[in-house]
Structure 1
Amino acid sequence: MGSLFVLIKYLGGAYLILLGIRLCTSKSKNVETQEVVKSSLISSFLTGLLITLGDQKATLFYLGFFPAFVDISKISYFDTGIIITITTVAVGGVKLGYAFMADRARLLISSKITKGINIAAGCVMIAVGVFLVTKA
């Protein structure tokens, strides 16, 4: 299967190069001209919940540490509710902070800065793609 993995490396490198070129040549959109799509609060909540629950790394991380701090054989239903509440507030609070900062950053960053960030990110993607292709 070694030759298959070499092919996957070539395809991955080519894909990164393609994405980098597309990112470098993309047009930056002006914030004032972008249309903001309004959605209901419940729709936004459910979307965020499903995205968070779909992140298996975070779930496995919490499940891995859980037995180190809590004796699972002595947990009651009330304790389970408290743990769920604390986890929800901790994870949700961090994600709310990220969302707030992203919203504010969107208003502060001009289209020139966005274009520069896109070019820098595109160049990094192209460099990684070239590295993968040359090392394959």
Structure 2
Amino acid sequence: MSLVSIFSLAIALFVLAATPGPGVFATISRSLASGFIPSLSVIAGIVTGDIIFLLFAIMGMSFIAQAMGNFFIVVKIIGAAYLIFLGIKIWKSKPVPVQQVKRGTKNKYGNYLSGLVITLSNPKVILFYCGFLPSFLELSHLGSIDICIVAFTISIVLSSVLTFYAYLANRARMFFSSPHSVKRLNRTAGIVMIATGVAIAAKS
């Protein structure tokens, strides 16, 4: 695998990650509602989903998106419903000043799951790995080292872009100190999450 191929992949992944979509909106809304650390679990779930699709593509399973269309529709509906549920939960959450929010990890698995489901139900990601990726990478000729390099590149690029979004959202969040401001912030984050779920469901 040449350096040109790796660089081209990194550029394509950057565009994929930076373009506003369900993953970006979910990361931002989680960072706005709960802080920077919880949003990292969402990002980890998103990256895991991308790695899964990469393995599908390498193993010659890109036909899954067509052969199991109904399955993906079910996944998308479940993902959309889960995001809407999270959005409603954030909207109705009791306003607690940012300085008093506990940085616990009790919801890290739920955040991770939401990120994973978002990626598995995202048509843009499915199209990228099952359609676009094979057009500039000889997936059938990738060795074990090449696969590791591609997976590492995906992890670094996606994590960097989404972490930057989460950081900016968290910095904006830190300006809110009064319960009234936090309530408005929670409702904004909830609306973003609900809208993302509705958008996914509408494309089902």
TM-score by length of 2: 0.36
| Alignment gaps of 5+ in structure 1 | 1-14, 126-136
Does 2:159 correspond to 1:92?
yes
**CA 1:49–1:117: 2 relative to 1, 3 Å:** closer
Partner of residue 129 from structure 2, selected from 46, 49, 63: 63
**CA 1:105–1:60: 2 relative to 1, 3 Å:** same
Cα root mean square deviation, aligned:
4.3
Q: What is the deviation of 1:99?
A: 2.8
User: 1:78: which partner in 2?
Assistant: 145
**CA 1:35–1:105: 2 relative to 1, 3 Å:** same
| Alignment gaps of 5+ in structure 2 | 1-83, 195-204
Q: Number of aligned pairs?
A: 103
Q: Point out the structure with max Rg over C-alpha.
A: 1
**CA 1:78–1:122: 2 relative to 1, 3 Å:** closer
**Alignment of structure 1 residues 1-136 onto 2, 5 Å:** 23=91, 27-37=94-104, 51-54=114-117, 55-56=119-120, 57=122, 59-64=125-130, 65-111=132-178, 112-117=180-185
Give, in whole Å, the separation in 2 of the partners of 1:79 and 1:121: 39
Q: What letter is aligned with 1:76?
A: G
**CA 1:121–1:60: 2 relative to 1, 3 Å:** closer
TM-score by length of 1: 0.50
Q: What is the deviation of 1:84?
A: 0.7
The answer to which of 29-38 and 77-86 deviates more is 29-38
Highest RCO, 1 vs 2 (Cα 8 Å, sep ≥ 6): 1
**CA 1:29–1:93: 2 relative to 1, 3 Å:** same
